[in-house]
Structure 1
Amino acid sequence: MRVIDRIMAARDQMTPSERQLVQALLDDYPVVGLGSITELAGIAKVSTTTVARMLQKAGFGGYPQFQAQVRLELKAMILDPAAKRDEWKSELPDEHILNRFGARAIENQRRSLEDIDPAEFDSLCSLLCDPDRRIFIAGGRITGALAQYLYLHLQMVRPDVRLLPEAASWTHDLLEVREGDVLVALDVRRYENTTLTIGQMCHERGAEIVLVTDQWRSPIHRFAKHTFGMRVAAPSAWDSMAAVLVLLECAIAETQERLWESVKSRTEELEQAFDRTRLFRKFGQNANR
């Protein structure tokens, strides 16, 4: 369990000043936890006694233990592929990769879905279904493929969906963002500066930000309306995006169902276009053409 998750799990037991401290941690996690206890107390405008008491309620033996855990998390967030492989290699069980990697990917999916608040997911789908909101989608070097996947499906489901390109021309698209629009940003470790800038600029223009990230959370979470932290760590030099894909497919399926009447007519029109372009083979039809 992440440090911040341990703290949030104990939030109901906390006093108002301790909750104020928790909010300060959330606003700039994990960086805010790297300073001294005095510095953290100053940022949160509470006493060092409040910091110690809050950490005790969260199950930490003291500030040094808390800070050591924060540093371990930060190290995990910034691992490059070679370092990830080195970290996993000493722990790999002696079994076939299909079992070793597959089991972890499935476990990531299960635990990620269990962590999602159904009300939060429903709110996401409500945003995607709102005809008065335009949907912008942004991904990075790896997550760009998932952004494209989400875009292609949502484009079939509803109008006014736009994929922000990874090239510099995305700045032109941002001119179209207005208050009330939605940006779905996909950003996993090692969090990309371009995706962060897109999120910041869309937020400044009044868009509501939906962040799909990993368990350590991209910096975009500081101004995101909804954040979904999916588990991505896997026994490989690269993370597994399986849990992220499952979340996107759940959102696509629910959005399709909510908008089914319009989706049906939209799909029929699209199929007619496919037939005219002969994009797909129709077995048994026009076999000699």
Structure 2
Amino acid sequence: MPLTNPTATVRELIREHYATLTQSERKFANSLLENYPAAGLASITIVAENAGVSTPTVARMVQKLGFKGYPHFHKSLLKELQAKVSGPTQRRDNWVSDAPESHLLNRFSQAVTQNLSQTFSNVDTESFDRATRQLANTDGRLYVVGGRITRALADYAFTHFQAIRQRVTHMTSSSATWPHYVLDMVEGDTLVIFDVRRYETNLQNLAKLAAERGVVIVLITDQWASPVASEADYIFNCWVEIPSAWDSNISTMMLLEALIAATQEEKWPETRDRYERLDQLFDHTRLFRKFS
């Protein structure tokens, strides 16, 4: 059985086919997901033993996912791992070696369009709605943080969420200051984390500290998923590869804007009142030019 979606990760294939798996196959799948992808990088005998299942069980499951056999499955996991840790130079080499003879603008447009399609087709709507309600819940404080590249997304998110609701904190990108924020975190608070490859160790540490305090974590990451996923309550995977040494934030931004719009609607008409009062303050400070 060929792969139904050659671009899908093994994690996504497991989720897609999970309902068709037997109890023992699900046991292996769960073991793999708990320590992904490391739990699947050994020989078939070792991974079966570690999961407490038989080798035929592993062989049957990988075939149900669409792989020709365990070597094909193993190779796919290794490719995902390599993609996770690749730097800008290697990323550019990867796409240049396979680049078609068309203008960069055309290839860029095609890649971005495909990223957007894959990102939104893989969003679980029920999880999206629950995350939206959590983001709109002002009983707890909302914290937003990003990393070296994604701090721009965190800043954008903060600007909008601060207008939509009360009690929003933009954590600085300096991890040395994070213990001060964690000190005030309590159960029921929400932490939005942006983390894409190459994943930042400090963000994973922050997620662990927040999770220990009962903070609900919303992770916005790439298709391979940041290690923060092991601590997150809501995970949104965004496809990011483009013909460049750098990954794209376009699908990530689109997903963020969808969350912002949904949170705004969840809080309406309270948000409308905030918008109107905010405009009055803008008028008072003459921040924006008015045309008569």
Bin of the TM-score, shorter chain as denominator length: over 0.9
1:197-238 Cα shifts (integer Å, max 9, x gaps): 111111111111111111111111112111111100010000
Number of the residue aligned with 1:172 = 180
1:169 match: secondary structure: helix
In the alignment, structure 1 residue 12 sits paired with structure 2 residue 16: no
2:281 match: secondary structure: helix
Of 63, 81, 86, which aligns to 1:79?
86
Query: By how many angstroms is 1:139 displaced?
Result: 0.8
Number of the residue aligned with 2:66 = 59
Question: How far apart, CA to CA, are the structure 1 residues paired with 2:97 and 2:286?
Answer: 52
Letter of the structure 2 residue corresponding to residue 154 of structure 1:
F
Of 231, 236, 246, which aligns to 2:244?
236
1:115-134 alignment to 2 at 5 Å? 115-134=122-141
1:121-270 alignment to 2 at 5 Å? 121-167=128-174, 168-270=176-278
Number of the residue aligned with 2:3 = none
Query: By how many angstroms is 1:280 displaced?
Result: 1.0
Letter of the structure 1 residue corresponding to residue 177 of structure 2:
S
- Residues 21 and 44, structure 1, Cα contact 8 Å, conserved in 2: yes
Question: How far apart, CA to CA, are the structure 2 residues paired with 1:43 and 1:139?
Answer: 35
Return closer, same or farther for 1:56/1:110 CA change in 2, 3 Å cut-off: closer
Question: CA RMSD, aligned part only?
Answer: 1.4
Letter of the structure 1 residue corresponding to residue 210 of structure 2:
C
Unmatched segments (≥5 aa) in structure 1: 285-289
Question: How far apart, CA to CA, are the structure 2 residues paired with 1:46 and 1:240?
Answer: 40
Letter of the structure 2 residue corresponding to residue 50 of structure 1:
T
TM-score by length of 2: 0.93
Query: By how many angstroms is 1:98 displaced?
Result: 2.6
Question: How far apart, CA to CA, are the structure 1 residues paired with 2:101 and 2:57?
Answer: 47
Query: By how many angstroms is 1:51 displaced?
Result: 1.4
Question: How far apart, CA to CA, are the structure 1 residues paired with 2:105 and 2:212?
Answer: 45
Question: How far apart, CA to CA, are the structure 1 residues paired with 2:289 and 2:108?
Answer: 35
Question: How far apart, CA to CA, are the structure 2 residues paired with 1:12 and 1:268?
Answer: 48
Number of the residue aligned with 1:97 = 104
Q: Sequence identity, in percent? A: 44
Q: Which moved further from structure 2: 47-56 or 80-89? A: 47-56
2:269 match: secondary structure: helix
Letter of the structure 2 residue corresponding to residue 245 of structure 1:
M
1:27-46 alignment to 2 at 5 Å? 27-46=34-53
In the alignment, structure 1 residue 282 sits paired with structure 2 residue 276: no
Unmatched segments (≥5 aa) in structure 2: 1-7
Query: By how many angstroms is 1:169 displaced?
Result: 0.9
